[in-house]
Amino acid sequence: MRKTRIGVLISGRGSNLQALIEACEASTYPAEIVLVVSNVPGVRGLALAEDAAIPARTINHKDFASREAFDAAVNGALQEAQVDLLCNAGFMRLHTEGFVQNWWNRHLNIHPSLLPAFPGLNTHARVLEAGVKISGCTVHFVRPKMDTGPVIAQAAVPVLPGDTDDNLAGRVLAAEHRLYPHALRLVASGAVRVEGETVVGLTPVKDEAPQTPLFSPPLNEGL
């Protein structure tokens, strides 16, 4: 089996990178990580890549005069490593339009909400503020506008009474670590494709609809 060659872009902690590294260890997994690029020097994600003996490079955006020049350097590194498919995993820079076009339908991102709800930063605080009872995470193909693009897979988690940003973030992050390897498998194995601007399965599955989980605050006794 020829494995799909993955590049991962990070800016920090790298826990989603670690989830992908672990998934790629299985001989039956259809992808292998061939390069990790961080735009921030010295971050934990780089150490995780090195521990896993994956080539890792720092391309510091501060060393470049423009976004175009930075993106060209990242692109050059990805091409040199013969990357087929790119995964953003906590990468905190906006891409130029040209970069996005270059990786069209070959570029994934993970975001800690059920997109299209709550794109952008400070997601969990805004989820709590809005009082919604379900949150979650989304893996989608990258488009020029931040946190938009065809949705590949999503996971839902409950928002619980008394949640803080931090514990909601932790619950969502645990779901992210399961979701990203799943979504990458779907794309790398060719099980899904983009049709129009939605992601469809190549083989229609006639499963019964799964039982819908319901999320609401606990009811008072007697109701």
Binding positions for ligand GRF, rule: CB under 6 A: 12-16, 89-90, 110-112, 173, 176
Name which of 13 and 67 has its Cβ closer to ligand GRF.
13
Question: For the chain, what is the HEC assignment?
Answer: CCCEEEEEEECCCCHHHHHHHHHHCCCCCCEEEEEEEECCCCCHHHHHHHHCCCCEEECCHHHCCCHHHHHHHHHHHHHHCCCCEEEECCCCCCCCHHHHHHCCCCEEEEECCCCCCCCCCCHHHHHHHHCCCEEEEEEEECCCCCCCCCEEEEEEEECCCCCCHHHHHHHHHHHHHHHHHHHHHHHHCCCEEEECCEEEECCCCCCCCCCCCCCCCCCCCCC
Quote the least distance from Cβ 98 to ligand GRF, whole Å.
22
Is 111 a residue of the active site? yes
Strands 107-111, 4-10: pairing kind: unpaired
Quote the least distance from Cβ 27 to ligand GRF, whole Å.
24
Name which of 79 and 167 has its Cβ closer to ligand GRF.
167
Quote the least distance from Cβ 18 to ligand GRF, whole Å.
8
Quote the least distance from Cβ 15 to ligand GRF, whole Å.
3
Name which of 2 and 113 has its Cβ closer to ligand GRF.
113
What's the rounded Cα separation, in Å, for the pair 147 and 139? 10
Name which of 8 and 78 has its Cβ closer to ligand GRF.
8
The amino acid occupying position 188 is: A
Active site residue: 61, 95, 107, 111, which one? 111
Name which of 16 and 135 has its Cβ closer to ligand GRF.
16
Residue 218 bridge partners (DSSP): none
Q: Which residue is nearest to ligand GRF (CB)?
A: 90
Quote the least distance from Cβ 172 to ligand GRF, whole Å.
7
Annotated active-site positions, please?
Answer: 111
